[in-house]
Amino acid sequence: MSQVIIAGDTSGTITLQAPAVSGSTTITLPAATGTMMVSGNMPAFSAYLSANQTITSNVNTKIAFDTEQFDTNSCYNTTNYRFTPNVAGYYFINLNFWTGSATPVVSRYNGKIYKNGSEFFRINDLLTGYGTVGGCLMYLNGTTDYVEAYANLTTTGSAIIEGANQNINVFQGYMVRSA
């Protein structure tokens, strides 16, 4: 019968040794404090815009990503379009939006990722036109920090971010590692 061997020493390191199949496999856990992260408790979300949204020229406008594709820890709010993770750590946040044919003509596209109500990261014009895509890495404390997506376009009037396309207009984030 196979058995798992747990061995420790005075350094604070515990080693789990799996039974030998065609050799031995050893897993070593370092002497560290904090929360062990497994796929079940690492927040991740993806939301998209369900309908067209009008953006006024030169106004920072929160994008209404109101439909979830997934939300692993119930951290994304589809009413205030905000991600508030419940685990402290480092997160990658991604923003992608597109204005379609861009009538009227849009001369500048800026996507903005806001943290706690202030601009944290700016994504400049996509060189091919009609939108922007990009992301950043940030620390979120797991209790009060939150993230939102904004757009700022320069047009001859107002422009529309095309909704109902979960493949083009998305706001996403996932935990990279714990704090």
- Whether residues 62 and 144 share a domain: the answer is yes
Q: Is the C-alpha dihedral spanning 156, 157, 158, 160 positive or negative?
A: negative
- Whether residues 6 and 68 share a domain: the answer is no
- What is the three-class DSSP state of 41? helix
- Whether residues 104 and 171 share a domain: the answer is yes
Which pLDDT score, from 0 to 100, does residue 83 have?
98
Per-residue pLDDT at 124 exceeds 90: no
Q: Scanning the structure block, which residue is given the tokens 């979300």?
A: 45
- Whether residues 67 and 137 share a domain: the answer is yes
Which pLDDT score, from 0 to 100, does residue 160 have?
84
Q: Per the structure, how many domains does the chain have?
A: 2
Inter-residue contact 179 to 34 (CB < 8 Å):
yes
Per-residue pLDDT at 16 exceeds 80: no
Which pLDDT score, from 0 to 100, does residue 158 have?
76
Which pLDDT score, from 0 to 100, does residue 109 have?
81
| CATH code: domain of residue 114 | 2.60.120.40
- Whether residues 27 and 114 share a domain: the answer is no
pTM, full prediction: 0.78
Residue 38 lies in a domain: no
- What is the three-class DSSP state of 112? strand
- Whether residues 18 and 51 share a domain: the answer is no
Residue 82 lies in a domain: yes
- Whether residues 13 and 62 share a domain: the answer is no
Residue 52 lies in a domain: yes
Q: Count H helices, E strands: the chain?
A: 0, 16
Range from 21-30, 46-55, 85-94 carrying the lowest mean pLDDT: 21-30
- Whether residues 26 and 49 share a domain: the answer is no
Q: CA torsion angle for 89, 135, 63, 44 (degrees, to 10)?
A: -40
Query: 90 is in which domain, residue-wise?
Result: 43-178
The radius of gyration of the chain from alpha carbons, rounded to an integer in Å, stands at 22
Inter-residue contact 53 to 66 (CB < 8 Å):
no
- Whether residues 6 and 94 share a domain: the answer is no
Q: What is the mean pLDDT of residues 151-162?
A: 82
Inter-residue contact 61 to 150 (CB < 8 Å):
yes
Encode burial over 9-31: b for 16+ CB neighbours within 10 A, e otherwise.
eeeeeeeeeeeeeeeeeeeeeee
| Residue, of 28 and 72, whose pLDDT is higher | 72
Cβ partners under 8 Å of residue 10, min gap 6: none
Q: Say if strands 61-62 and 147-155 run parallel, antiparallel, or are unpaired.
A: antiparallel
Distance (Å, whole) CA 47 – CA 100: 19
Which pLDDT score, from 0 to 100, does residue 116 have?
98
Residue 7 lies in a domain: yes
- Whether residues 10 and 60 share a domain: the answer is no
